[in-house]
Amino acid sequence: MSSILRKRFFDQIAVMFGREPKKPEAIAPEAQNIHLFKRGNRDLIAEKLHARAHAIHANKWRNRRWAVLIVVNLMFTFSFWFDIQILEGALTASRFIGFHLIDLNSALQVMLAHKHIIVNLVIGTATVFVLWLLLGGRTFCSWVCPYHLLAEGAEKIHLYLVRKKLLTDQNIDRRLRTLSWIVFAALAAGTGYTVFEAISPTGILSRALIYGPGLALLWVLALLVFEVFFSRRAWCRYACPIGLTYGVVGIFSPVRIKYTLDGCFHEGDCRKVCLVPHVLDTVIKGRAVDTEIPIGPDCTRCGLCVDTCPTGSLTFDVKGLSRLL
Amino acid sequence: MSESQYPEGDMAADAVSPAPTSSVVAAPPSRERLQQARRRWLRTILLTGGVMGAALSGFLPLIYARTKRLRPPGALDEKDFLASCIKCGQCVQVCPVQAIKLADLVDGIGVGVPHIDAREQACDFSCDAVQCILACPTGALVYKKPAFLSVRKGAKLAKAPILKAKEKDAEPTLNLSERIGVARLTRPESCLAIQGKGFKGQARGASFKGRMRYMEANRWKPIRVAEHPYDVGECDLCVRECPVKGAISIETVFAPDGSRRKSPVVHEPCVGCGVCEMICPVEQPCIVIEAREVWNT
């Protein structure tokens, strides 16, 4: 990895914890050439309009993702309903054909609160850690978390209301998520009670899908209402410590979105659909530090940007794999 | 299509403000910008307050902890149990009689934490092996407490309880070292045994949903209590259906007026499973489980 990309790698970790993305200090000469080439290039503008006119909007990744999310959650539900014992438990902790799987954030809460770790807890947590290390960290958020799917629905309503100029998105300081992670970890350790688990919409929804609905869903509803009328995707963007936990795992994950500077028209469609647009600061004109850039760990690998990009400049990438093939 | 380039900073910043700023290139941040930053801070504080306020509801169980709920067998003491339970419901899934329920928001015992309502559906150990303990991934339910946790006096069972259903097996005991409660005859005045009355019919009426394993009916499949009517000359349902050997028996006792009476008497092996409470045919059961209570001699 070049020193420029290494710097960006660490910058992206800071961005995940809440720092605003900054203009890069150094840009690789190859990338600099492309930036210069694109500046005021009339052919490029003509090309852009042409690409626009022929763009076919696909929902390939979104459909795949929704299918996976629904199937995974239904596997929990049906395992219990029909007693088929494939995936027993809930998203917080489960057993896949007998193998322990334990959600990293829930495991962390229990470890901090109980201060005693049994073997099964270690096995389940380690398995899930390795799993999401291989699958992309926050992939958990967009491909598994049931709240994510509901929030995507709420987001559509929110964006409709914004388009109708009935409201504006009230953005919030992203450092709040880091703060909430620290506060909930401290509460678990200090009080010996897993406080976050009581309000985690992921846990509440997962249990509701399996064991039947309860009044706890009112809290989930309140979050959705907040997101529709006040702040777009507020819970996932600014509050949920689960996202940060999996984000940290994602730092080391080989699965990520790759940005290729060459064909990008810098129109920013990807940033408009993105849950975490700060990871896509690199697509802004003149910002890319290299010709190919891996998107940072806060990215949920949801693939909306891949679907929406008219030029194919954003693609799924497995580090090392493309070189192998 | 728009050619829009994002200005520096966040494109989603609430750009809707009554007057456009005139000083775009001004070095010090404009009043407008400062105001936006201030509003953003206020929103951040608002959301923080909201989330933290909701999180406080997580502490409700500690306040309500006084109303003792019956936990599944092998549960740690309440505080440790609430700390270690990961709220996945795997104990719920393995229970053959579905005795274990997860708490809702208003139950005040932690969203998603398991408990047993013995009157509705008691644990009758028809799984033979305390499956819920086996299923628990975090050690909130344990066969034996880890060394650093203290065992309350009287909570420890003198011997591993012998399951009547397995009495003839090579290994007749349940792997359970502590009781989850103790049965207590709280309303002796209504007890049919003490009154010398018999009982005929469905113990809890035709509509009762509770299930139990009757060895004589089917060892492996619990059936509804309503499908198993009784006809006994002297009521002894709590003794008859108690799954643990030697936990309860009918004894001759002397009433305050000196007369001899038959009465159910609870003994030390009682683990607090709650079958007696479920099966008691009197409405408002005469015998109930005192959750998390220890054995006092």
Residue B4: pLDDT over 80: no
Residue B279: pLDDT over 70: yes
Q: Do A43 and A79 belong together in one domain?
A: no
| Minimal-distance CA residue of chain A relative to B78 | A193
pLDDT in the model for residue B256: 79
Estimate the crossing angle of helix A175-191 against helix A104-114, to 10 degrees.
Answer: 40
Task: Look over chain A and give the mean of its residue pLDDT values, rounded to a whole number.
Answer: 92
A134–chain B Cβ distance below 8 A for any pair: no
What is the average per-residue pLDDT within B207-229? 93
Q: Do A150 and A267 belong together in one domain?
A: no
Q: Are B234 and B268 in contact (CB under 8 A)?
A: no
pLDDT in the model for residue A321: 80
Separation between Cα atoms, residue A141 and residue A101, nearest integer Å:
16
Interchain CB distance below 8 Å, A232 and B12: yes
Q: Do A151 and A177 belong together in one domain?
A: yes
Q: Are B187 and B263 in contact (CB under 8 A)?
A: no
Separation between Cα atoms, residue B144 and residue B292, nearest integer Å:
16
Separation between Cα atoms, residue B57 and residue A218, nearest integer Å:
13
Q: Can you list the positions of beta strands (E) in chain B?
A: 100-102, 114-116, 181-185, 199-201, 211-212, 223-224, 230-232, 248-254, 260-266, 287-291
- Which of A100, A169, A234 minimises the CB distance to B14? A169
Q: What is the count of structural domains for chain A?
A: 2
Q: Taking a contact as any Cβ pair under 8 Å apart, which residues of chain B between 47 and 76 contact chain A?
A: 47-48, 50-52, 54-55, 57-62
Q: Are B186 and B238 in contact (CB under 8 A)?
A: no
Q: Do A71 and A206 belong together in one domain?
A: yes
**Domain carrying residue A237:** 61-248
Question: ipTM score of the complex?
Answer: 0.88
pLDDT in the model for residue A188: 92
* Structural element, H or E, at residue A316: strand A314-318
Q: In this predicted model, what pLDDT tens digit does every residue of A60-71 receive, in sequence order?
A: 999 999 999 999
pLDDT in the model for residue B61: 58
What is the average per-residue pLDDT within A17-30? 92
Q: Strands B114-116 and A255-260: what pairing?
A: unpaired
Separation between Cα atoms, residue B83 and residue A189, nearest integer Å:
10
CA distance B111 to chain A (A): 5
Per domain, the residue ranges of chain B are: 66-291
Q: Are A166 and A158 in contact (CB under 8 A)?
A: no
Q: Do A209 and A279 belong together in one domain?
A: no
Q: Do A129 and A232 belong together in one domain?
A: yes
pLDDT in the model for residue A325: 66
pLDDT in the model for residue B1: 38
Give the pLDDT band of residue A235 (cuts 50, 70, 90): very high
Indicate the DSSP class of residue A276.
S
Tokens of B103: 């708490």
Residue from A11, A45, A38, A35 nearest A290 by CA = A35
B96–chain A Cβ distance below 8 A for any pair: no
Q: In this predicted model, what pLDDT tens digit does every residue of A268-307 receive, in sequence order?
A: 999 999 999 999 999 999 999 999 999 999 999 999 999 9
Q: In this predicted model, what pLDDT tens digit does every residue of B38-97 receive, in sequence order?
A: 877 777 777 777 777 777 766 665 665 556 789 999 999 988 998 999 999 999 999 999
Q: Do A95 and A235 belong together in one domain?
A: yes
* Among candidate residues A248, A276, A310, the one where a domain is terminated: A248
Q: Do A260 and A244 belong together in one domain?
A: no
3-state secondary structure of A189: helix
Span of A197-201, B4-8, B104-108, B221-225 with lowest mean pLDDT = B4-8
Tokens of A55: 């763009």
Residue from B92, B75, B85 nearest B145 by CA = B75
What is the average per-residue pLDDT within B210-219? 92
